[in-house]
Structure 1
Amino acid sequence: MTGVLILTGCGVSGDPAEREVKMNMQDAAVRADEILDGTFAAIKPPVHWTHERPTEGNCDVQRRRAVMTIISEERRGSFLGLIERYWESQGYKQLSVNNSNMPAMYYRTPDKFNVRVLIGGAGQAFFEVATPCVNPSKVSPPKTETVGPNYSGKMTPIPDVKSDFWSAKSPSSSRT
Structure 2
Amino acid sequence: MKPPRAVAALLALAALVAGCGPGTDDGSAEGRRTMHLQQGAEHADAILQETLGSVRPELKWNHGPGGSAGCTKGVAGAATGTGAADRIVTIMTIVSEQRRGSLLGVIERAWKDRGYTITNVNRSPKSPAVFASTPDGYSLSVEVGGEGQFFLKAATPCLRDTDVQQPLTPENTRRRPGPFPQRPDEQDEFWSATTPVQQ
State how many pairs are aligned: 165
Letter in 2 for 1:147: N
C-alpha contact (below 8 Å) 1:32/1:113 kept by paired residues: yes
Secondary structure at the residue paired with 1:31? helix
C-alpha contact (below 8 Å) 2:67/2:85 kept by paired residues: yes
Q: More relative contact order in 1 or in 2 (CA 8 Å, sep 6+)?
A: 1
Q: How many Å apart are 1:120 and its aligned residue?
A: 1.8
Identity %: 36
Q: Does 1:149 align with 2:174?
A: yes
Unaligned stretches of 5+ in structure 2?
1-11, 24-31, 71-82
CA–CA distance in structure 1, aligned partners of residues 112 and 129 of structure 2: 15
Render the CA deviation track for 1:145-172: whole Å, top value 9, x for unaligned: 1110135994231110110000000011
Residue of 128, 132, 136 corresponding to 2:161: 136
C-alpha contact (below 8 Å) 2:60/2:186 kept by paired residues: yes
Letter in 1 for 2:109: R
Q: Does 1:68 align with 2:80?
A: no
1:124 corresponds to which residue? 149
RMSD: 2.0
Q: How many Å apart are 1:98 and its aligned residue?
A: 0.7
Letter in 2 for 1:150: R
In the superposition, relative to structure 1, how do residues 123 and 26 fare at CA in structure 2: closer, same or farther (>3 Å)? same
C-alpha contact (below 8 Å) 1:39/1:83 kept by paired residues: yes
Report which of the two structures shows the higher radius of gyration computed on alpha carbons: 2
CA–CA distance in structure 1, aligned partners of residues 21 and 111 of structure 2: 24
2:22 corresponds to which residue? 20
| 1:7-156 to 2 correspondences below 5 Å | 8-10=14-16, 18-21=20-23, 22=32, 23-58=35-70, 59-100=83-124, 101-150=126-175, 154-156=179-181
Of Structure 1 and Structure 2, the greater helix share is in 2
Q: Which moved more, 1:37-46 or 1:155-164?
A: 155-164
In the superposition, relative to structure 1, how do residues 152 and 36 fare at CA in structure 2: closer, same or farther (>3 Å)? farther
Secondary structure at the residue paired with 1:9? helix
Q: How many Å apart are 1:42 and its aligned residue?
A: 0.6
Unaligned stretches of 5+ in structure 1?
1-5
TM-score scaled by structure 1?
0.87
